[in-house]
Amino acid sequence: MNTNINLAVLIDGDNIPSAHVKEMMEEIAKYGNPTIKRIYGDWTKPNLTKWKNLLLENAITPIQQYGYTTGKNATDSAMIIDAMDILYSGKVNGFCLVSSDSDFTRLATRLREAGMQVIGIGEKKTPNPFIVACDKFVYIEVLKKQTEKKDDNDDEDTKESNKSNVDKITQREIHLISTTISDLSDEDGWAFLGDVGSLLQKKRPNFDSRNYGFEKLTPLIKSIGSFDLEQRENTKSRHKLIFVKNKEKRIRKPKKR
């Protein structure tokens, strides 16, 4: 993961809750340096009041956009125009589009066509076309769960709520991991876990081990039980390399009658 790239962070203030802006900015910092941070909305409306106190704390520039026509989202147009201006300025290497609105699907596609890395952040209600148009998509609910885990004073009700918010690993995810390992495996069936994680991200931008209650991919794969893991020495670092393979299916011999 290259954290040295410059990112433009564009936030749809009308479409994103303000409650976890700190966690959003911490997440964005994992992917690059947010040199441009802007949030769009009609700041004369009361629904954006909660954002106002957070802007200075996080060095986010508010962009005023009046809704001139009823039923039309002027914020979307302003974000799209600014994004294209920033693209042609050559000042950034990637974009982070913070919205749950499918109207930004074409923008994400266009930015990627121009060679930009595009990270999306939004709620789980985000339509799939926008998700797959991004290189990576992170759910706000995941960031919310991380905040709740850090709270040592969680009561039992909150813990139960956290458990219910974790997605279950279905056969669809297991098949996705299995086929990805097969795509990258050597003659003995082993694949480097780092490469597996990268290809999973390309196949499904919203694939995130945190969606299933695991901080990293390794414990997620371990929990499934369908894969073998092996640690190998790394000549370039003290950290060992982790390889994974699909477990061989045992063929049951028919019982003798």
pLDDT band of residue 206 (cuts 50, 70, 90) is very high
Q: Which structure tokens are listed for 51?
A: 């954002």
Give the β-pairing of 241-246 and 191-192.
antiparallel
The model's pLDDT over 53-72, given as tens digits with 9 standing for 90+, comes to 888 889 999 998 876 554 44
Q: For residue 164, is pLDDT > 50?
A: no
Q: Which helix (H) or strand (E) holds 227?
A: strand 227-232
Which pTM does this prediction carry? 0.82
CB-based contacts of 36, cutoff 8 Å, min separation 6: 6, 7, 8, 9, 86, 91, 92
116-155 burial by CB neighbour count: b if 16+ within 10 A, else e? bbbbbbbeeebeeebbbbbbbbbbbbbbbbeeeeeeeeee
Task: Please name the residue that has the structure tokens 């995941």.
Answer: 142
Domains defined along the chain, listed by start: 6-162 (3.40.50.1010), 171-246 (3.30.420.610)
The model's pLDDT over 171-180, given as tens digits with 9 standing for 90+, comes to 999 999 999 9
Q: Is 57 helix (H, G, I), strand (E, B) or coil?
A: coil
CA distance 243 to 193: 5
Q: Is 120 helix (H, G, I), strand (E, B) or coil?
A: strand
Percentage of the chain beyond pLDDT 90 is 60
CA distance 90 to 194: 30
* 224 within 8 A of 212, measured Cβ to Cβ: no
Mean of pLDDT values over 105-126: 96
pLDDT given for residue 252 in this prediction: 55
